[in-house]
Amino acid sequence: MLLLLPAAADESLPADASLPVVATFSILGDLTETIGGARVTVRTLVGPGGDAHVYTPTPADARQLGEAQLLIVNGLGFEGWMDRLVEAAGYGGPIVVATDGVAPRRTEDGGTDPHAWQDPANGRRYIENIRDGLVAVDPDGAAGYRERAAQLLADLDGVAARMSESLAAIPVERRRVVTSHDAFGYFGDAFDIDFIAPVGTSTESEASAADVAALVRQIRREQIPAVFVENISDPRLLEQIRRETGAQLGGTLYSDALSSSDGPAATYLDMLTYNTTTLAAALATAAADIGVEPPAPATSHGDPK
pLDDT for 235 equals: 62
User: At a CB cut-off of 8 Å and minimum separation 6, what does 187 contact?
Assistant: 118, 119, 193, 195, 275
Q: Alpha carbon of 115 to those of 1, 98, 145, 305: distances in Å?
A: 17, 11, 25, 22
pLDDT tens per residue, range 252-295: 899 999 999 999 999 999 999 999 999 999 888 765 554 434 34
Task: Give the C-alpha separation, 47 to 43, whole Å.
Answer: 9
pLDDT for 248 equals: 72
- Looking at the predicted structure, is the pLDDT value of residue 305 above 50? no
Ranges of beta strands (E only) in 30-175 are 40-46, 70-73, 95-97, 105-106, 112-113
CATH 2.40.50.1020 is held by the domain 2-161: no
pLDDT for 178 equals: 83
pLDDT tens per residue, range 33-76: 999 999 999 999 999 988 898 899 999 999 999 999 999 999 99
pLDDT tens per residue, range 66-101: 999 999 999 999 999 999 999 999 999 999 999 999
Closest CA to 228 of 173, 273, 287, 183: 183
- Note the residue count of the chain: 305
Helix (H) or strand (E) holding 2: strand 2-3
> In this structure, how many other beta carbons lie within 10 angstroms of the beta carbon of residue 298?
14
Task: Give the C-alpha separation, 224 to 279, whole Å.
Answer: 13
pLDDT for 4 equals: 46
- Looking at the predicted structure, is the pLDDT value of residue 134 above 50? yes
pLDDT tens per residue, range 226-251: 788 776 555 676 677 777 877 777 88
Domain ranges of the chain: 2-161, 170-289
pLDDT for 260 equals: 95
DSSP string, 201-231: SSTT----HHHHHHHHHHHHHHT--EEEEET
Query: What DSSP designation does 293 have?
Result: P
Q: What is the pTM of this model?
A: 0.83
Helix (H) or strand (E) holding 238: helix 236-245
Q: Do 2-161 and 170-289 share a fold?
A: yes
pLDDT higher at 7 or 220: 220
Q: Which residues on adjacent β-strands are paired with residue 195? A: 177
Q: Contact 13/138 with Cβ under 8 angstroms?
A: yes
pLDDT for 6 equals: 37
Topology annotation, domain 170-289? Rossmann fold (3.40.50)
